[in-house]
Amino acid sequence: MKKWFAVIGNPISHSLSPTMHETWLKQLDIDASYIPIHVEQNQLERAVESLKLLGCSGWNVTVPFKEEIIPFLDDVDDSAKGIGAVNTVVKSSNNKYIGYNTDGLGFIESLGPILPEYNVLLIGAGGAARGIAHAFKRKGYTQLTIANRTLEKAIVLVDELKTGQAWTLEEAENKLNKFDIIVQTTSLGMKNNDASLPIQLSRLKVNAIVADIVYNPLVTPFLEEAKKYNVRTVNGIGMLVHQGALAFSYWNGVKPDTEEIIQQLIEQIGGNYVNR
């Protein structure tokens, strides 16, 4: 049977994943397709049963189903267990559907080569920060700092990680020169959202890397500000592409090219900006 893949979510019409996966399938001459599926809020269990019944080869999961899908899967890999969220479902050789999470690792891969001794600051303590924090920990970065508007949420995340430290945003702003990698994970700066900065960057270290997981707009106000200090900036499109590339490799046993598709997606979302 011809392989087929999907992405489920609500809403789903603006997802860039179909373009990305279809492009890779074509580039690698794999006879398969990848389709977006809109799932109604209260229909997730039925949708998952249908995907299994119809022999879907694997699918991505996006908002708002990443947590809710777990009980409907046959098993969950360690990459998703700690976070309690799945973004990729893989059909195993014995036809079991296993949940993985490639978001955090995808983000780390989007940074390019980084050193194990780097100090990492995550701004925000929501779902996106949790995925990235767990991935950094799995990669051996135990000295993470989580700074959040609501300190209690950062403390909960640090307790869950059993490593790192929780700070207020003010503390992060004041001691910013400690950090080699700074990751903006809040929704601030997203199109049509609050354009204010979570922290000021005047104490930025000279060689710091500043990343934002938001990719629309491609250059958020936070990255715009970081550019004034001539540091390397990384936009959110890399995370999108690298989480997809990992999912693709789990399904097809081959890692697709990431550079070309990054340029293609940037054009698709209307940017012409290259920042790494």
Residues that bind ligand ATR (CB under 6 A): 124-129, 148-150, 153, 185-188, 194, 198
Comparison of 51 and 237: residue with beta carbon closer to ligand ATR = 237
What residue type is 114 in one-letter code? Answer: I
Q: Determine the 3-state secondary structure of 32 from DSSP.
A: strand
Minimum distance between the CB of residue 234 and ligand ATR, rounded to whole angstroms? 17
- From 2, 66, 96, 227, active-site residue: 66
Minimum distance between the CB of residue 128 and ligand ATR, rounded to whole angstroms? 4
Minimum distance between the CB of residue 231 and ligand ATR, rounded to whole angstroms? 21
Comparison of 153 and 178: residue with beta carbon closer to ligand ATR = 153
| Under 8 Å between Cβ of 157 and 206 | no
Comparison of 129 and 241: residue with beta carbon closer to ligand ATR = 129
- Whether 66 is catalytic is yes
Minimum distance between the CB of residue 8 and ligand ATR, rounded to whole angstroms? 17
| Under 8 Å between Cβ of 111 and 211 | yes
| Under 8 Å between Cβ of 145 and 167 | yes
| Under 8 Å between Cβ of 123 and 147 | yes
Handedness of CA 139, 141, 147, 152 (dihedral sign): positive
Residue 232 burial (10 A CB sphere; 0-12, 13-18, 19+): middle
Comparison of 8 and 129: residue with beta carbon closer to ligand ATR = 129
Residues with a catalytic annotation lie at: 66
